[in-house]
Amino acid sequence: MIVEGLTFDDVFIIPKYSDIEHRADVSTKSKILPNVELASPFISANMDTVTEYRMAISMMISGGLGILHRYLSIEDMLKQIELYQAEIKEHKYEEKVPFVVSIGANDFDRVSKAYEAGIRNFCIDVAHGHHLLVEKCIKKLRELYSDIGIIAGNTCTYQGAYDLFKWGADTIKVGVGPGSVCTTRIKTGAGYPQLSAIQLAYKAKLDYLKDFPNEEKFIIADGGIKYYGDITKALAAGGDAVMMGSIFAGCKQTPGNVFRNENEDMVKSYRGMASIPAQSDFGIEDFNEEGISLTVKYRGNVKHILERLLKGLRSGMSYSGARTIKSLQEVSEFVRVTQSGHFEGQPHKAFKH
Ligand code: XMP
């Protein structure tokens, strides 16, 4: 059987009648867990070159969220939690957005230590999340703790999304192979074009909520954002928030130092978690390389990037006449574009004669 899947560059959002007089009239608030509502639906990726506590604090201050990666010893994870909490206390930030911590599918010790330290939201981070081990993990966490939020993934199919919701995940993370440093699709042949994957997850969410109307479920679209407009497309397709790595990787707040490359540009490292350097740094010997490692230009304070992302999103929503993300999801329609349609949208051209 062959089905067709599309991704961000294959479509545009069809503009709709709008009565929004100013971008500021648009609300970008979005719930992504039962007890977590973001002012802006932007999440920094749970990768070791993207999110530790400094990044999570800055994301939180700007209305988004940073999810701590899981490639830390339990001791170092606890240190990160302590630093996050100390910063919150010192600056008296109202902790509207709690720290979310990633775990593997068998990390119960890690969960219990984080729970003791006050963490109540976890992200089960597995490359192929539609998996027996993830099912067991979610069910066991639900048995052990009655008051935690669970994000689980990644998945890219209707059935994967529906099952993760049914097993007890509040939120699913969607995306297999769209990321800028991912080689999963090349190395394994597996994956699904990201825009269609988000639409399938959204359909699964709506169907699930028809079956279980008293529950709340959420979707994080993870990876593959190359342009600001892709964010609006990901939300229009059904995402409640968008997770990004490469856009944020060069920021001041990400882990790692700024250094100069051979051209004297200021850069930082960015690497897939399944790349050889990442896996060997974490002492993992038996793995399939499914990511690459590179450098990205240093981009300064993340708050400036977030301001631009927010402006782009507000403007994008106003083209659909959508005052909320929910309404963007409900009203959006896409037009499929040809190569020439895509090319026409690129800033390439003075009139040729
Ligand atoms: P972007 O496009 O924002 O994507 O840089 C970030 C997302 O990429 C995923 N990720 C990986 N996927 N191999 C993969 O196939 C890897 O080594 C890898 N590391 C990260 C992850 O979902 C992240 O949020």
List Cβ neighbours of 214 (8 Å cut-off, separation of 6 or more): none
119 CA to centre of ligand 1 in angstroms: 24
Average pLDDT of the residues in 196-215: 98
The count of structural domains within the chain is 1
* pLDDT tens-place string over residues 26-83: 999 999 999 999 999 999 999 999 999 999 999 999 999 999 999 999 999 999 999 9
Q: What is the CATH number of the domain that holds 190?
A: 3.20.20.70
For 267-319, what is each residue's pLDDT tens digit?
Answer: 999 999 999 999 999 888 888 999 999 999 999 999 999 999 999 999 999 99
Cβ of 329 less than 6 Å from ligand 1: no
Instruction: Give a yes or no: residue 34 inside a domain.
Output: yes
pTM: 0.97
**Tell me, what's the pLDDT at 247?**
97
Please check whether residue 96 lies inside any domain of the structure: yes
Q: Is residue 243 part of a domain?
A: yes
Q: Would residue 308 count as lying in a domain?
A: yes
Q: What pLDDT score does 184 carry? A: 95
The answer to whether residue 3 is domain-embedded is: no
Taking only the tens place, the pLDDT of each residue in 114-145 is 999 999 999 999 999 999 999 999 999 999 99
- Decide whether any atom of ligand 1 lies within 6 Å of the 44 Cβ: no
Question: Is residue 321 in some structural domain?
Answer: yes
Q: Is the CB of 175 under 6 A from ligand 1?
A: yes
Q: Is residue 182 part of a domain?
A: yes
Q: Is the pLDDT of residue 103 over 70?
A: yes
Catalytic residues, which ones? 182
Range of the domain at 43: 8-274+284-343
Residue 117 covered by a domain: yes
